[in-house]
Structure 1
Amino acid sequence: MDTAEPNTPKFRRRAEARPDEVLDAALDLFIEQGFAQTKVEQIARKAGLSKGAVYLYFPSKMAILEGLVARAIGPITGQVFSALSAYKGDPRPIIGQFMRMMAKAMTDPKTRAVPLLVLHEAPGAPEIAAMFRRAVLDHSVPALRALIAQGVEGGHIRAVDPDLTIRTIMGPFLGHLLMSDLFGIEPEGGIALDQLVENHLSILFAGLAPEGAS
């Protein structure tokens, strides 16, 4: 019988784990039945908590989805985007680091499910699109734009449009996830995100090389 008092380390570890338990339960339900159709009561029941306990950690269902986004994307944005805007030099090594980190993170099915869920739900729920833009795109797009623009200005890469180049960088990665997870079309070797990224970077970096570079 567990006789741990509320102030014991075991109790604290259990309390600290509860937000993740809520997020895991919510992700399963959002995938299974959709964001709009999922109720907080269902999330609480699946997580083994009361509805009131869920609201202690997340004040709304949208806050739960935002928590899922932060858990999935946070490790990437926290390590990379804070340094992008101030970087000076050839942007290709930084782009490579960013893409490889994304590939590593997205090998976890729970992490990969979050952006796919947002892509699925956002067209019918503008508030979800707005939340993802605030949480991710409003930070990542300006940082990547600044990185590419300074690379052009410094002569490290050819004269490209920074905004279009951001789409060129991210497009194949997103397309690969959509084809694999949404449509079930995978290369013979499986989803292999690391191989996709290396293949993409070899083509991308050749295209970004300055005019006349060997």
Structure 2
Amino acid sequence: MSSLSKFIGQVEEPPASKRGRRKEARPGELLDAALDLFVEKGFAATRAEEVAARAGVSKGTLFLYFPSKEELFKAVVRENISGRFSEWNQEFETFEGTTAEMVRYCFQVWWDRIGATRASGITKLIVSEARNFPEIAGFYHREVIEPGEQLIRKILKRGVDRGEFHIDDFEYAMFLIIAPMIYLVMMKHSLGACVNIPIDPERYLKTQADTILRGLERRPTDPAPPKTKK
């Protein structure tokens, strides 16, 4: 097992026991089972009956809650990723530190809540299968990528407005934050799953943040940021 996999193993929790399951608990258990199988096998190879069996219910019961595999996948994404943007935007609004501290916090929160969890495997699934499933690719773009990019733009703009950052092109500077996250989850769910690649995720993210912030930092020779209209 690679060092990255060992680190992940310390963070993730084993699936909950299905014993004593209440009827109202079934949707959550179905989503847990679906997340496991989508990450393990991909979207195309995951069958509805497998999800039902892992959750301990019949295929018919699965379809009572989720009418298709596509709708089941969408529910998994909303439960584990896109449903959290309201919380993250609220944290942005109430954050009291510097924007550099916010960028570091952004990396750490993303790792703790997404990167170190099973949900990080959804990113690899989308990268691998988007071309064959344009509907779920479009859904993921609307529900995850666009809100994520908007939040990162807001963070960078905060830094410029406060005179902390100098950024000429927000559209491309945004990828400075996104790229390290994508690399880490792709390694985790591809080569890192079978080859000993010595990546300590927290050390990696700290190094990325240090390097990015040195590049974004406003220097005395930079032009003053434009005044924001109120």
TM-score (norm: length of structure 1): 0.78
* Structure with larger RCO (C-alpha < 8 A, sep 6+): 2
In 1, the alpha carbon distance for the partners of 2:145 and 2:93 equals 14
The structural deviation recorded for 1:168 is 0.8
The answer as to whether partners of 1:76 and 1:102 remain within 8 angstroms in 2 is no
In 2, the alpha carbon distance for the partners of 1:104 and 1:89 equals 20
Counterpart residue type for residue 203 of structure 1: T
The structural deviation recorded for 1:193 is 1.9
In 2, the alpha carbon distance for the partners of 1:94 and 1:75 equals 21
Change (3 A) 1:141 1:76: same
Counterpart residue type for residue 193 of structure 1: P
Change (3 A) 1:205 1:47: same
In the alignment, which residue of structure 2 is the partner of 1:20?
28
The answer as to whether partners of 1:23 and 1:67 remain within 8 angstroms in 2 is yes
> Does the residue aligned with 1:93 lie in a helix, a strand or coil?
helix
The answer as to whether partners of 2:121 and 2:185 remain within 8 angstroms in 1 is no
Q: Does 1:197 align with 2:212?
A: no
Number of corresponding residues: 200
> Does the residue aligned with 2:184 lie in a helix, a strand or coil?
helix
Change (3 A) 1:69 1:46: same
In the alignment, which residue of structure 1 is the partner of 2:218?
210
> Does the residue aligned with 2:81 lie in a helix, a strand or coil?
helix
In the alignment, which residue of structure 1 is the partner of 2:116?
107
Counterpart residue type for residue 48 of structure 1: G
The CA RMSD over aligned residues, in Å, is 2.8
In 2, the alpha carbon distance for the partners of 1:197 and 1:76 equals 21
Q: Does 1:130 align with 2:138?
A: yes
What are the ranges of 5 or more consecutive residues in structure 1 without an aligned counterpart?
1-9
Change (3 A) 1:40 1:181: closer
In 2, the alpha carbon distance for the partners of 1:180 and 1:46 equals 24
Q: Does 1:176 align with 2:190?
A: no
In the alignment, which residue of structure 1 is the partner of 2:99?
91
In 2, the alpha carbon distance for the partners of 1:40 and 1:206 equals 48
In 1, the alpha carbon distance for the partners of 2:122 and 2:92 equals 24
The answer as to whether partners of 2:33 and 2:51 remain within 8 angstroms in 1 is yes
In 1, the alpha carbon distance for the partners of 2:57 and 2:191 equals 35
> Does the residue aligned with 1:160 lie in a helix, a strand or coil?
coil
TM-score (norm: length of structure 2): 0.74
Counterpart residue type for residue 79 of structure 1: E
The answer as to whether partners of 1:81 and 1:143 remain within 8 angstroms in 2 is yes
In the alignment, which residue of structure 1 is the partner of 2:168?
160
The structural deviation recorded for 1:89 is 8.4
The answer as to whether partners of 2:33 and 2:54 remain within 8 angstroms in 1 is yes
In 2, the alpha carbon distance for the partners of 1:99 and 1:75 equals 18
Paired residue for 1:45, among 50, 53, 57? 53
In the alignment, which residue of structure 2 is the partner of 1:3?
none
The answer as to whether partners of 1:89 and 1:151 remain within 8 angstroms in 2 is no
The structural deviation recorded for 1:186 is 5.5
